[in-house]
C-alpha cells in the first residue's frame, strides 16, 4: 500500500514547524507535550462520547458523566505521555480547566448539534501523488457540516477557521467518501471552548471549495518533497509554537530553540 501522512503531521510539517516534524517522525525523538494538550484531549473525548451516546440512544449523556469521561481521559493521557510542564499546581490547573470546558460543551454546545457520525476515519487516496492522507473527522452532522472541538485560553481569531489544514482534509475526504465531485463545497466549523474568567463557546464557521482543495493538494505535494529531500526548515523564531511551553524540543534538542539563541527571556 502507498505510504500515507496523517493530516495532523501534514499540518505540523507545512504549517507549525518542519523541524518539529523531523525530530518526531524522522528521528523518532518522542518528548512530552504541554499539559494543556491533555486538557484538550480530555474535553475532546468527553464531547465524542456524548455525541456517540446521542447517535446510539437519541439522548445526551448527563453533564457530570461527560465531565467524568473527560477527567478520566485527561488522567490517562497524562499518565501515558507525561507533560513538559507537569507539577502539582500545573496538573491541578489543567484538570480544573478540563472540568470547566467539558461542562461548557455538555451544556452549551452538544444540545445544539445533530451528530450523524463521530470519529470517522478516512484514507484520502490521491492517485497522482506518491502519498495518501489519513485522519479522523471528529464530527459529521446530519446537515453534512463538519466540525471539531478546540480549547483555548483566549478568544480565537476568525481567520483560524478559514485557514485550517485539518478542516480542508476533512472536507475533501468527506466528498471522496460520499462519491461527490471533489470540488463540492462543504460547510465546516470549529467549536472553540475558551477558558476565560467566564468560560465561553465561540463557534467559527467557514466552508471549503475547489480552490481550498487545490491549495491543500499543493501542501501535500510540498510535504512529499520535503520528506524525500530530507530538508526540514525551522519555523520563525517569533512563532508561538517555538517556545518551551509548546515545544518539547525547544530547551535541549532543537538547534533553533533556546540553546540556539544568544538572548532568552524567562517563560519562553
- pLDDT tens string 147-186: 999 999 999 999 999 999 999 999 999 999 999 998 999 9
Is domain 1-28+119-227+234-259 given the CATH code 3.90.320 in the classification?
A: yes
10 Å CB burial of residue 241 (0-12, 13-18, 19+) is middle
Q: Where are the domains of the chain?
A: 1-28+119-227+234-259, 31-112
What region, left, alpha or beta, does residue 144 occupy, with left being phi > 0 and alpha being psi -120 to 50 degrees?
Answer: left
Over the chain, what is the mean pLDDT?
94
pTM above 0.85, yes or no: yes
264 pLDDT tier (thresholds 50, 70, 90): low
Give DSSP secondary structure letters for the chain. ---EEEHHHHHIIIII-HHHHIIIIIS-------HHHHHHHHHHHHHHHHHHHHHHHSSPPPHHHHHHHHHHHHHHHHHHH--TT--HHHHHHHHHHHHHHHHHIIIIIGGG--EEEEEEEEEE--TTSSSEEEEEEEEEETT--EEEEEEESSPPPTHHHHH-HHHHHHHHHHHHHHT--TT--EEEEEEEEE-SSS-EEEEEEEEE-HHHHHHHHHHHHHHHHHHHHT--PPPPTTSTTSSTTT-TTTTTT-TTSGGG-S---TT-
263 pLDDT tier (thresholds 50, 70, 90): low
**Interatomic CA distance for residues 105 and 200, integer angstroms:** 9
CB distance 128 to 154 below 8 Å: no
pLDDT reported for residue 117: 98
Span 80-132, pLDDT tens digits = 999 988 899 999 999 999 999 999 999 999 999 999 999 999 999 998 889 99
**Interatomic CA distance for residues 21 and 9, integer angstroms:** 7
pLDDT reported for residue 190: 98
pLDDT reported for residue 114: 97
pLDDT reported for residue 265: 52
Amino acid at each position: 500500500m502507498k505510504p500515507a501522512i496523517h493530516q495532523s503531521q501534514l499540518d505540523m510539517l507545512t504549517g507549525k514547524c518542519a523541524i518539529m516534524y523531523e525530530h518526531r517522525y524522522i528521528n523518532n525523538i518522542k518528548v512530552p507535550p504541554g499539559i494543556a494538550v491533555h486538557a484538550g484531549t480530555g474535553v475532546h473525548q468527553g464531547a465524542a462520547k456524548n455525541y456517540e451516546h446521542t447517535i446510539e440512544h437519541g439522548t445526551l449523556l448527563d453533564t457530570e458523566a461527560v465531565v467524568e469521561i473527560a477527567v478520566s481521559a485527561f488522567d490517562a493521557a497524562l499518565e501515558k505521555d507525561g507533560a513538559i510542564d507537569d507539577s502539582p499546581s500545573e496538573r491541578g490547573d489543567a484538570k480544573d480547566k478540563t472540568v470547566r470546558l467539558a461542562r461548557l460543551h455538555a451544556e452549551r454546545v452538544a444540545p445544539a448539534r445533530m451528530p450523524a457520525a463521530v470519529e470517522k476515519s478516512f484514507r484520502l487516496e490521491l492517485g497522482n501523488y506518491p502519498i495518501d492522507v489519513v485522519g479522523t473527522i471528529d464530527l459529521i452532522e446530519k446537515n453534512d457540516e463538519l466540525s471539531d472541538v478546540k480549547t483555548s485560553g483566549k478568544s480565537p481569531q476568525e481567520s483560524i477557521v478559514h485557514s485550517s489544514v485539518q478542516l480542508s482534509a476533512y472536507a475533501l475526504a468527506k466528498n471522496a467518501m460520499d462519491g461527490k465531485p471533489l470540488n463540492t463545497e462543504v460547510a465546516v466549523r470549529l467549536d472553540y471552548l475558551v477558558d476565560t474568567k467566564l468560560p465561553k463557546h465561540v463557534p467559527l464557521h467557514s466552508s471549503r471549495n475547489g480552490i481550498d482543495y487545490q491549495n491543500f493538494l499543493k501542501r501535500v505535494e510540498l510535504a512529499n518533497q520535503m520528506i524525500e529531500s530530507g530538508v526540514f526548515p525551522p519555523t520563525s523564531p517569533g512563532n508561538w509554537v517555538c517556545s518551551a511551553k509548546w515545544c518539547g524540543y525547544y530547551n535541549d534538542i532543537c538547534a533553533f530553540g533556546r540553546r540556539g539563541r544568544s538572548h532568552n527571556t524567562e517563560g519562553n
